[in-house]
């Protein structure tokens, strides 16, 4: 009997078994890590969505409050009452700079544009800021909505 041949066969079997164990462990860890990454990505996306929603809500509240402040500003009221387009644009430009707006659009109650100015946030853009036509087509807010906004 050749014991050396049996020893080599046993060594080869052990090597193959250990290699299969390593491949199996690698596959289990890969699938496990992929599942963990998917769960974390979903959780991170929910957090990012909440943060964006809160930022947009905060900015809309800020803009609503700013609109009320601008409407109550005596300089703006005087410029609108006189109909002086340059004075209107200058006061809108000053207020737009204060709130870092990309643009300020002043309309009448029928959504006719009275004045439009680009703010400091649009200064880095190559062309003029385009106005979304949906803004002009939406129904005017009720007085209660503006007061409680």
pLDDT of 54 strictly over 70: yes
Residue scoring higher pLDDT (143 or 130): 130
| pLDDT attached to residue 143 | 44
Tens of pLDDT, residues 133-143: 555 555 544 44
| pLDDT attached to residue 52 | 93
44 assigned to some structural domain:
no
19 assigned to some structural domain:
no
79 assigned to some structural domain:
yes
pLDDT of 19 strictly over 90: yes
47 assigned to some structural domain:
no
92 in Cβ contact with 104 (< 8 Å): yes
Residue scoring higher pLDDT (63 or 133): 63
Tens of pLDDT, residues 92-127: 888 888 878 888 888 878 878 888 887 665 555 545
- pTM higher than 0.85, yes or no? no
85 assigned to some structural domain:
yes
125 assigned to some structural domain:
yes
| pLDDT attached to residue 84 | 82
Give how far Cα 141 sits from Cα of 67, 98, 136, 144, Å. 12, 24, 12, 8
| Count of the separate structural domains present in the chain | 1
106 assigned to some structural domain:
yes
Q: What is the mean pLDDT of residues 6-23?
A: 92
Q: What is the mean pLDDT of residues 55-77?
A: 85
- Quote the domain boundaries for residue 92: 73-148
Which residues are within 8 A (CB) of 100 and not within 5 positions of it... i.e. 6 or more apart? 119, 120, 121
Give how far Cα 66 sits from Cα of 36, 61, 92, 100, Å. 45, 8, 11, 11
């Amino acid at each position: 009997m050749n014991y050396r041949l049996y020893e080599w066969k046993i060594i080869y079997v052990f090597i193959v078994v250990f290699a299969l164990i390593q491949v199996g462990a690698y596959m289990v860890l890969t699938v496990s890590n992929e599942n963990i990454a998917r769960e974390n990505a979903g959780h991170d996306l929910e957090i990012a969505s909440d943060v964006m929603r809160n930022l947009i809500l905060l900015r809309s509240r800020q803009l609503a409050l700013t609109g009320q402040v601008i409407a109550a500003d005596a300089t703006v009221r005087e410029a609108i009452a006189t109909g002086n387009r340059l004075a209107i644009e200058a006061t809108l430009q000053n207020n737009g700079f204060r709130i870092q707006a990309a643009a300020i659009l002043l309309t009448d109650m029928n959504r006719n544009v009275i004045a439009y100015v680009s703010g400091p946030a649009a200064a880095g853009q190559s062309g003029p800021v385009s106005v979304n036509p949906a803004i002009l087509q939406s129904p005017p807010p009720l007085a209660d909505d503006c007061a409680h906004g």
